[in-house]
Amino acid sequence: MCGIVGYIGFNEATPFLVDGMSKLEYRGYDSAGIAVFDGKRINIEKCVGRLDRLRDKIGAHVPTGTIGIGHTRWATHGRPSDQNSHPHADASGKFAVVHNGIIENYLVIKEDLIAKGHVFLSETDTEVVVHLMAELYNGDFEQTVKKVLKIIEGSYSLVFMCADAPDKLICTKKDNPLVIGLGEGENFIASDIPAIINYTRKNYILSDGEFAVVTKDSVWVEDRDGVPISKKVFEVYWDAEAAEKGGYDHFMLKEIYEQPQAVRATMSSRIAKDESTTIFNELNWVKDDLDNIKKIFIIACGTAYHAGIVGKYYIEQIAKIPVEVDIASEFRYRKPLVDESTLTIVISQSGETSDTLAALKEAKRLGARTLAVTNVVGSSIAREADQVIYTYAGPEIAVASTKAYTTQLAVMLMLAIYMGNIKNVLSSERSKELVHALHILPEQLDELLKDVTNIKEHAYRYKEAKDMFFLGRSLDYAVALEGSLKLKEISYIHAEAYAAGELKHGTLALIVEGVAVIVLATQHDVYEKTLSNIKEVKARDAEVLGIALAGDDSISKYVDHTIFIPKADKYTAPILSVLPLQIFAYYAAVARECDVDKPRNLAKSVTVE
Ligand code: M6R
């Protein structure tokens, strides 16, 4: 996720570009840059770090000109650095481009362009776009962009400028947002409305495949087949602060709704075209690499630890390697039996969690191979580990983790399939089934989010609850842990999660009339056992809310209320069943008037022991 802006009009471009980018920093903030045409050439100013660093760098020498583009970056390909910052330009300086998304086939294109003599200055996927422009340019800016779009694959929103055509910007999008703000004698482009809301309230929201030529007085839009479109003007009534949250009341809710896209981005380029397996080019493992691994430790904190527990089920069951999951703050002091035959996987959204970083260092010291799963490119954990898999969730602002968790689960499942196939312990039929289950997951997440009224009503109904219990077996238990953490962290309702079969060993004493119990029942192999546990709590007059797969006709006979999730494979079910729990926690917190995005006593990134 990155933020992009563009301006063309009668005013100086730079003030708008910098101001617009400041409203998009929630989309990324590891580097920033602008490109402005001064009448003769395109001048680019960019640097690693927050926007303030760019402001300082520009100082009094603000690039002048009335057409420009800008970018605030959240690194995916290539660590945060001056060279990897956008905009990118070709060698002649004729073209400049800003990009949000991932060009999946960039390596093939890059090799081809290098063979043709192009010299690349960055490690980014984006730079191929601008070199392709230079390679294919025949004097016609628009036609050249169209040729480039035929070659690149992946997800993107892109804004192009060309020194030969200083009266227009060209933009397009696929699977990433882009809006065009309509002014008088000036027009604006941005990844999101907050960047332009102070300049205009009239917008065109671009759809996938649409191609727009923006001048100061006009906006020409075509569909993917080149047919002109008359776009409907979308008028924004929100205030600037609400706009930053995309019209959502809180970042947490926005991030919940971003999950289909975050999971899609994390999986893109990691699923083989024939859907037979998953691919991790960043690992490039062969059978020997895995035969040497006798045991895996997964280490993390909080929500990431819960993702690790799901990961244990995936890896043990699919790749047949024994896994231990450790809380990072425990691992470092418990004298774990780790050696060269151990692979340590650390999971961390921020990549900066102090306990996780220290555990990673300890595992390395003991001789383990290390792999990090993190959302932040170039973070301390990413730098410390031998290898890294990035989740592409984009910045997570709310303290309560949501999209980081679901993308971590997607990575762990893809990793288990990858390992299972390399080790030859996964049948090709089951591998295909699992990859297909992943492939349809973003649509299922979308479907689930379409109507959450039912979940919201339950949350409001339980808002006065003093205690809540979350139960499940197997993978449902792992998700119950996350549901319980979500609820207590933002609504301050006391919540506990239990393996459903464990309740009778003590905790059942707390189940009395009216106590609220949420039971997950999505796992077929333990379904009957879960029903028995539901009967146990119902016999003590608990009020039970069940989470079950669509098409489950039995569950309603046993519980008081049910929330259905789309029918799914047992391994993708956790990535779906956690959503109702996130939404439940969110609305319970709203109903209790809690500070959802900044719960008391907590911080987003815990960099102290
Ligand atoms: O950045 P990390 O994933 O390493 O953070 C770990 C935990 O602090 C984090 O998951 C925390 O539990 C969340 N705020 C829970 O929503």
**Averaged over 326-346, what is the pLDDT?**
93
Residue 523: per-residue pLDDT: 97
Query: Using CA atoms, how far apart are residues 538 and 534, in angstroms rounded to an integer?
Result: 6
Is residue 531 domain-shared with residue 456, that is, in the same domain? Answer: yes
Which range marks the domain in which residue 546 is found? 451-591
Return the ligand 1 atom nearest residue 302 CA.
12
Q: Which of 251, 301, 348, 608 to mutate to test the pocket of ligand 1 (most atoms within 8 A of CB)?
A: 301
Q: Alpha carbon of 470 to those of 216, 423, 546: distances in Å?
A: 57, 36, 10
Flag whether the pTM goes above 0.85. no
Residue 241: per-residue pLDDT: 67
Total tally of structural domains belonging to the chain? 3
Q: Does residue 303 carry a pLDDT above 90?
A: yes
More confident residue, 598 or 589: 589
Tens of pLDDT, residues 220-269? 999 989 999 999 998 877 766 666 787 899 999 999 999 999 999 999 88
Tens of pLDDT, residues 56-87? 998 878 889 999 999 999 888 888 999 999 99
For residue 545, what pLDDT band results from cuts at 50, 70 and 90?
very high
**Averaged over 308-325, what is the pLDDT?**
98
Ligand 1 site, residue 356, Cβ cutoff 6 A: yes
Pick from 244, 278, 293: which residue ends a domain?
244
Coil, strand or helix at 462: coil
Return the ligand 1 atom nearest residue 604 CA.
14
> Does 129 reside within a domain?
yes
Is residue 203 domain-shared with residue 297, that is, in the same domain? Answer: no
Residue 608: per-residue pLDDT: 67
Pick from 446, 475, 505: which residue ends a domain?
446
Tens of pLDDT, residues 145-164? 999 999 999 989 999 999 99
Is residue 135 domain-shared with residue 174, that is, in the same domain? Answer: yes
> Does 477 reside within a domain?
yes
Is residue 312 domain-shared with residue 386, that is, in the same domain? Answer: yes
Q: Does residue 89 carry a pLDDT above 70?
A: yes
**Averaged over 401-405, what is the pLDDT?**
97
Tens of pLDDT, residues 187-204? 999 998 889 989 999 999
More confident residue, 207 or 146: 146
Tens of pLDDT, residues 433-486? 999 999 999 999 999 999 999 999 999 999 999 999 999 999 999 999 999 999
Signed CA dihedral, 82, 88, 91, 92: sign only: negative
Query: Using CA atoms, how far apart are residues 58 and 98, in angstroms rounded to an integer?
Result: 19
> Does 403 reside within a domain?
yes
326: tokens are 């450790």
Signed CA dihedral, 574, 579, 580, 581: sign only: positive
Q: Counting beta carbons within 10 angstroms of the beta carbon of residue 262, is it exposed (0 to 12), middle (13 to 18) or buried (19 or more)?
A: buried
Mean pLDDT, all residues of the chain = 93
- If you write DSSP's letter for every residue of 383-444 in order, what string do you get? HHSSEEEE-------SSS-SHHHHHHHHHHHHHHHHHHHHTT-S-HHHHHHHHHHHHTHHHH
Name the H helices within 60-161: 106-115, 127-136, 141-151
- How far is ligand 1, taken at its centre, from the CA of residue 600, in Å? 15
CA dihedral 76, 82, 88, 89 (to 10 degrees): -150
The answer for residues whose C-beta is within 8 angstroms of residue 311's C-beta and 6 or more apart is 298, 323, 325, 345, 347, 408, 409, 412, 415, 416
What residues form DSSP beta bridges with 158? 99, 172
Is residue 97 domain-shared with residue 172, that is, in the same domain? Answer: yes
Is residue 84 domain-shared with residue 129, that is, in the same domain? Answer: yes
Is residue 105 domain-shared with residue 178, that is, in the same domain? Answer: yes
> Does 158 reside within a domain?
yes
